[in-house]
Chain A
Amino acid sequence: MKTQERSEPVAAMPHDAEHRSRATSRTSQGSARASKIREPRSDRLLNMVSIVVLSAIAVSIVYPFVYIASASLSDPDAVNSGRVVLWPVGFNLDAYLAILHYPDVVRGFVNSLIYSGSVMVLGTAIVIAGGYALSRADLPGRRLFMVLFVVTMLFSGGMIPLYLVIQRLGILNTMWAMVLPSCMSVWQLIMTRTYFQVTVPKELLECSQLDGATDFGFFFRIVVPLAKPLIAVNCLLFAVATWNGYFNALIYLNDPHLYPLQLVMRNILLENSYDPSKLTNVDPSRLVQAQQLAGKLKYALIIIASIPPLVAYPFVQKHFVKGMMIGSLKG
């Protein structure tokens, strides 16, 4: 049905004189017939409207960040009285300096880096190796394994049984509870498998087998170097997902020393459970000032927590779109 519809205008073009004359009369209104077809007025209008709409969308996305950033750099009084609209009023870096001295936040930041880094390395290794093995047509039992993986995308035991398993493994309230349950993703595994199926030619494998390469040799010397974009994509997906997650920490961790940044942030931003005395490490007489600072601290925290993923993503964006398209469209 689709192909029929598509081929219709092409077929109609050379024969249908009526259509053509109507088109030319419309496009060459007033002026002589141009060599290139000019856009009808309605199309130019549509283009203008599109640009306006898209600009509005872009502004609505950028503005909150600019506002939060400005507020974090402004005088607290100016923020509270609503004088900060776009740019900082009474520029200072107090909030950021205070954050550096707020032990919970610093520790959370470091913890998040550790968790994201570990999940990134471990997860990417597992997904690349497993995805490659699944992409090999000569892997006996491949169908069975695929079914085994895909079923988990539809069914799951749910929150409580998983919690009990984690408890049973004895990793509750350790950093392993943050790393192990997150270091694989079936969706990424299947994306990786499809990517390998499309990009690694069978002849390459046959060639290197003739040259005496084992499966390991072929995987490490040929496949991994070929898969750089894919590795980058998987690294980003794992790192960002772990950096942004708070729920696993909420249920698997009790010890505040292990909290990742997102959970620290949740407590400060949404539960308002921060300790003003921690902000200025000595003087109780400056408590009022510290309290005021705490409000600003929230703005600074938002900025600090969003910087790592936002910085990482443009680097990988090019690969990302490519890797994801091959992976998802063919899958």
Chain B
Amino acid sequence: MAEPTTNFVDTLRVDDNARQRRRRRVKPQLPLATRILRAWRLYVLLAPALIWVLVFCYWPMYGVQIAFRDFSPATGLTGGPWVGFEHFTRFVTSYQFGLVLKNTLILHLYELAVGFPAPIILALVLNAVRQKYFSRAVQLITYAPNFISVVVVVGIMVMLLDPQAGAVNSLVNLFGAPSVNFMGQAGWFRHLYVFSGVWQTAGFSAIIYLAALSSVPPELHEAARVDGASRLRRIWHLDLPAILPIAVILLILNIGNILNVGFEKVLLMQNPLNLDVSQVIGTYVYQVGLKAPIPQYSYATAIGLFNSVVGVLLLVIVNQMARRIAKAGLF
């Protein structure tokens, strides 16, 4: 966000007043109305994006008030009578609450524990290989699954893990063990969810770490080698510090998203057999809000709101902690 005139003065150390005086001399500030009128073409360019945000982001935010009302289709978003926190208390005291919250947290923490370090390790290993063409080729392959839809990923899983014809069970049978019905057992759900996620996204997430690694000057590595530092030592003392700040930021974002596990994929993997572990907040909202024979719009909105409020609170708390401990933060 460089100010237009700072490059004239940034070599000098000037206080704010002097800076403003200079700015005025270089480019006299016109009245706001004139500047707005002159920039009308820029507003035309910005208008579509602005309208989209207003309609598809801010209008729904305004509509969140149905969480505190009894919504009825006849009266619209603002018509129903106020009921306060009734829907929230109903959710928190319902027998589903504990289960759904537990599933969401476990699934996300498990995903975080496995999925967060995976791209970092992958990037370090890719960076450590001396044969650059090989490392490029592996990168190209590991990015690819990121471009495939979750429907395809879950489809591949179903086909490969099929108890009768799947390749994985053929291998299991080869060792003399009976076939396992992976998709039909609740115990397998979390592992399958987390590791298929790593399979799909680790390569792509590694890009950002590879970029950070490429910013380490090669002279440092040369110098460290001259000093007799082994590759592992150089990774520890040169590469890791280079990716630490970005890793902290991504970790904060991840934790802020803690209650929003990728529920599109959960929904695809969900079946009556694993419902006890696969029902998360997102799928529960979908179920009571849209899929139910009598959709409970207000109740579902209240659950969704509960979800985002907890998410934002976590984000703020974790960000504060990161700023104290690691001196890095999002805001």
Contacts and interface: CB of A to CB of B under 8 A. Distances in A.
24 contacts: A9-B223, A46-B128, A47-B231, A54-B129, A57-B122, A58-B142, A82-B167, A85-B167, A125-B48, A137-B4, A140-B35, A159-B285, A160-B304, A161-B64, A162-B56, A162-B63, A183-B52, A184-B53, A186-B57, A197-B1, A215-B39, A246-B151, A301-B155, A302-B155
B207 interface: yes
The winner among B49, B158, B219, B237 for most chain A CB atoms within 10 A is B49
Sorted nearest first, the 7 A-B pairs with minimum C-beta distance are: A157-B60, A130-B49, A158-B304, A23-B228, A244-B149, A161-B63, A215-B41
A54 B290 contact: no
B301 interface: yes
A145 B149 contact: no
A329 B35 CA distance: 31
A50 interface: yes
B290 A61 contact: no
Contacts of A82: 165, 167, 170, 173
A27 to B, nearest CB: 7
A133 B45 contact: yes
A325 interface: yes
Contact of B59 (A55, A148, A165): A165
B306 to A, nearest CB: 10
A51 B56 contact: no
B277 interface: no
A167 to B, nearest CB: 9
B42 A157 contact: no
A158 B301 contact: yes
B251 to A, nearest CB: 16
Given A152-B57, A162-B60, A305 B231 contact: no
Given A46-B232, A80-B164, A313-B144, A51 B134 contact: yes
A258 to B, nearest CB: 17
B212 to A, nearest CB: 8
Interface string B24-51: 0000000010011001011101101110
A10 B220 contact: yes
Given A60-B199, A158-B301, A160-B285, A184 B52 contact: yes
Interface string B125-168: 11011110011011011111101111110111011100011010
A58 B56 contact: no
A54 B128 CA distance: 11
A240 interface: yes
A148 B268 contact: no
A158 B48 contact: no
Given A5-B241, A138-B4, A157-B57, A302 B63 contact: no
B226 A158 contact: no
B286 interface: yes
B264 A246 contact: yes
Nearest to B297: A160
B15 interface: no
A202 B228 CA distance: 47
B213 interface: no
B261 interface: no
A229 B141 CA distance: 22
B224 interface: yes
A92 interface: no
B28 to A, nearest CB: 13
A119 interface: no
Interface of B: 1-4, 32, 35-36, 39, 41-43, 45-46, 48-50, 52-53, 55-64, 66, 76-77, 122, 125-126, 128-131, 134-135, 137-138, 140-145, 147-152, 154-156, 158-160, 164-165, 167, 170, 173, 199, 203, 207-208, 211, 217, 219-220, 223-232, 237-238, 241, 264, 267-268, 282, 285-286, 289-290, 297, 300-301, 304-305, 307-308, 312, 315
Interface in A158-192: 158-165, 168-169, 180-181, 183-184, 186, 189
A317 B141 CA distance: 12
A306 interface: yes
Nearest to A23: B228
A100 interface: no
Interface string A109-120: 000000000000
Contact of B143 (A214, A262, A313): A313
B223 A13 contact: yes
B267 to A, nearest CB: 8
Interface in A1-47: 2, 5-6, 9-10, 12-13, 16, 19-20, 22-23, 26-27, 37, 39-40, 42-43, 46-47
Nearest to A149: B53
Given A71-B159, A262-B151, 13 more contacts: A9-B227, A61-B144, A68-B159, A155-B61, A159-B300, A160-B290, A165-B59, A215-B42, A244-B147, A246-B151, A251-B286, A270-B151, A310-B148
